[in-house]
Amino acid sequence: MAIQSSSSGLVDGFWSKLKKVNVFASKTLTAEDLHKRMETMREHLIAKNVASDVAEKICESVSTKLAGKTLGSFESLTTNIRQAMRDTLVMILTPKRRIDILRDVVDAQKAQRPYTITFCGVNGVGKSTNLAKVAYWLAGNNLRVLIAGCDTFRAGAIEQLKTHVRHLNNIFGEKETPMIELYERGYGKDAAGIASVAINYAKDSKFDVVLIDTAGRMQNDEPLMTALAKLIRVNNPDLVLFVGEALVGNEAVDQVTKFNQALIDHAHSPSNPRVIDGIVLTKFDTIDDKVGAAISMTYTTDKPIVFVGTGQKYPDLKTINADVVTEALLK
C-alpha cells in the first residue's frame, strides 16, 4: 500500500532542522549534541501518531546508540540520525516470533484437532468484520472454518456474523459442505462455555479452524475483562489476537496494556500467564502516513502485527511491511 505524506510542511521543517547540525569535521558525538535533535525527532514521531511515551523511549534508545560515535569529516549527523532511527523502527516492527498461521493449522491437523483463534478488543474497532476477513483468507486456502459467536452481550452481534457467513459462502459457491459455518447459542449465555462447546463441535465435524468472536469491551470494564480472561483461560486458544485501530496513538498503549494485564491477573499460573499473541490493526487505509499506532502497539507488547485491515471488502487484509511503515514514519 502506497502511503502518501499529508504533512509535507512538517516534514520539510523536521529534516531542515536536523540538517542545520551537519558535521564537517571529525567529531565525537555527545548526549548534549543530540539532545535538541532528539527532541525534534520525538515531536515528529508524535505527529505521526506514535504514543508520546513510546516516542520518548525510542529517541532515548537512538541517542544512546549514537552517543560516543565519532563522525568523520563531511559525515552528516542527519544521515546518522536517520539511519539509526530507521534501524530501531525496523527492529521494533520485526517480530521476534514469526506467526505462521497456515503452518500452525497443518500442525493442528496432524494432531486431529482444530486450530483456534480468539479475537478481542475494545468496542467499535471492526473486530467482527476483520474476523470475517480472516475467515475469507482461510477458506481461500481451502480450510474449513467455524466461527464461534461468543459476543453474547452486544445486540445484533450474532446477526452480523450470520450475514458475514452467508456472504462468504456465496463467494465460495454452493458446496455439499460449506467452507464456513457459524456456531451460536444466542445472547446472555456464558461466552467461555459456548467457545468450549464450539471447539468440541469443530473437532467432531472436521473443521480446520475455529475463530472465536468476543464482545467488544473497554479496557477498564472489570466484569467484561474478567469474562474475557476466563474464556481464554478455559479454552487455551492457539492464538489470541488483539484488534485495534490504526487511528489511535496514546490510547492504543493504554488499551493493549490493560488487556494484557487482565489476562495476567486472571491466569491459572501467574508465573506463566497467557497474554496477547499478536495484533490486527484495522482502518490502516484511512491514516495516510500517520502509522505510529503500529509502532506503539508492537513496542508496548513486544508482539507482532499479524494483519492490517486496508478496506471494507473481505480481501482487504494484508501483512505489514516494516520497511514501508518505517519510511512513512521518517517522511
Model confidence over 236-292: pLDDT tens digits?
999 999 998 887 767 777 888 888 888 888 777 767 788 899 999 998 888 888 888
pLDDT digits 0-9 by tens, 200-249: 999 999 999 999 999 887 777 778 888 888 899 899 999 999 998 887 76
Q: What is the value of pTM for the model shown?
A: 0.86
pLDDT for res 6: 44
pLDDT for res 33: 80
pLDDT for res 326: 92
Please state the domain extents for the chain.
8-93, 101-321
189 pLDDT exceeds 70?
A: yes
Percent of the chain with pLDDT over 70: 91
pLDDT for res 2: 41
CB 215 within 8 A of CB 250: no
Which residue is listed with cell 473443521? Answer: 207
CATH of domain 8-93: 1.20.120.140
- Dihedral, CA atoms, 260, 262, 265, 271, nearest 10 degrees? -20
Q: Which CATH architecture has domain 101-321?
A: 3-Layer(aba) Sandwich (3.40)
pLDDT digits 0-9 by tens, 44-78: 999 999 989 999 999 999 999 998 888 776 667 88
DSSP per-residue string spanning 192-226? HHHHHHHHHHHHHTT-SEEEEEE----TT-HHHHH
For residue 242, give the H/E element and its range. strand 239-245
Cell of 286: 484511512
pLDDT digits 0-9 by tens, 177-186: 899 999 999 9
pLDDT for res 17: 57
